[in-house]
């Protein structure tokens, strides 16, 4: 018997998840001014992993790591580590709202990659939404604008990694447990960044306040992903998709409150176009696969 759904609860959980992700980005942007980016990535995944071990391992035990496709789970997790590192590096150079908006080109890239990787045919509507979304990107990253080109390149590279991550998520979802997939992202991220620690560890030692902020990265990440999973268990994706883009609102407000930055009119228009295009892609029906993919 399928579990009972509660759409209103799902929407509240989605809003909470997007707030957690926006707070993670804002905190990481602040900390990246002082501490090495890889150290912040290590903290984000290590704390996330410890939280999952503390709260889920006693109940799930070996089910937490049981998988039919370990190699793909590991590569998917490494892609997300790349997303986190590239995004924090971009946040060091770009305002919070613009970085968040540019990362939201991911659904547009997923739509384009789905044809060769998943065998999905692009409809005219999905082509139009994708092209409009990239027009929004050009408004934000327009020639002569004030944004750092290196920062733009970093966040677009993060979006590329995120697109491949989402493609692999769709390939794994039919056979893998969702909680197990989330745990692999935390575990692989913690192990990979810990093994690389001798190459980047250094800089100033954090004080008590900074240590709490660094620890909060893992709390925001772990809590946000947990709330996201619970949201999709309580409401269908078509109901929740519009609320995913509330993260742009949170990011804009936090960028203004914490860093005193407010996007100009052209940037706000570009952000709105990217959000509308990505939302359209989420709601438009996908064409059937051209041929089966294994």
Do 149 and 279 form a contact (C-beta atoms < 8 A)?
no
Residues 152-174 have pLDDT tens digits of 999 999 999 999 998 998 899 88
Residues 62-71 have pLDDT tens digits of 999 999 999 9
Q: Per-residue pLDDT averaged across 173-178, rounded?
A: 86
* pLDDT for res 286: 64
- What's the pLDDT band for 4 if we cut at 50, 70, 90? low
**Token representation of residue 203:** 């800089």
* pLDDT for res 294: 35
pTM, to two decimals: 0.88
Distance between CA atoms of 99 and 137, rounded to whole angstroms?
11
Residues 40-60 have pLDDT tens digits of 999 999 999 998 999 889 998
Domain boundaries, the chain: 7-283
**Token representation of residue 152:** 């733009």
- What's the pLDDT band for 229 if we cut at 50, 70, 90? confident
Do 261 and 113 form a contact (C-beta atoms < 8 A)?
no
Angle at 169 between CA 167 and CA 171, to 5 degrees: 70
Residues 74-98 have pLDDT tens digits of 999 999 999 999 999 999 999 999 9
């Amino acid at each position: 018997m399928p579990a009972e759904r509660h759409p209103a609860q799902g929407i509240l959980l989605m809003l909470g998840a997007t707030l957690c992700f926006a707070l993670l980005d804002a905190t990481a942007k602040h900390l990246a001014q002082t501490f090495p980016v890889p150290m912040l990535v290590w903290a984000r995944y290590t704390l996330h992993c410890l939280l999952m071990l503390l709260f889920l391992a006693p109940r799930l035990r070996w089910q937490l790591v049981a998988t039919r496709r370990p190699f793909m789970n590991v590569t998917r997790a490494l892609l997300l580590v790349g997303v986190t590192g590239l995004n924090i590096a971009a946040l060091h150079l770009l305002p919070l709202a613009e970085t968040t908006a540019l990362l939201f080109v991911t659904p547009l890239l997923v739509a384009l990659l789905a044809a060769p990787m998943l065998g999905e045919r692009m409809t005219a509507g999905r082509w139009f939404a994708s092209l409009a979304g990239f027009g929004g990107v050009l408004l934000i990253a327009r020639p002569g604008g004030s944004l750092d080109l290196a920062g733009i390149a970093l966040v677009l590279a993060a979006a590329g990694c995120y697109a491949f991550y989402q493609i692999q998520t769709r390939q794994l979802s039919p056979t893998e447990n969702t909680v197990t997939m989330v745990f692999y992202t935390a575990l692989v991220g913690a192990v990979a960044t810990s093994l690389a620690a001798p190459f980047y560890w250094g800089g100033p030692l954090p004080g008590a306040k900074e240590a709490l902020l660094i620890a909060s990265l893992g709390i925001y990440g772990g809590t946000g992903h947990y709330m996201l999973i619970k949201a999709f268990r309580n409401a269908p994706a078509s109901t929740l998709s519009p609320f995913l883009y509330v993260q742009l609102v949170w990011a804009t407000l936090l960028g203004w409150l914490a860093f005193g930055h407010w996007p100009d009119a052209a940037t706000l228009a570009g952000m709105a176009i990217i959000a509308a295009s990505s939302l359209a892609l989420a709601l438009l029906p996908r064409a059937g696969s051209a041929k089966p993919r294994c």
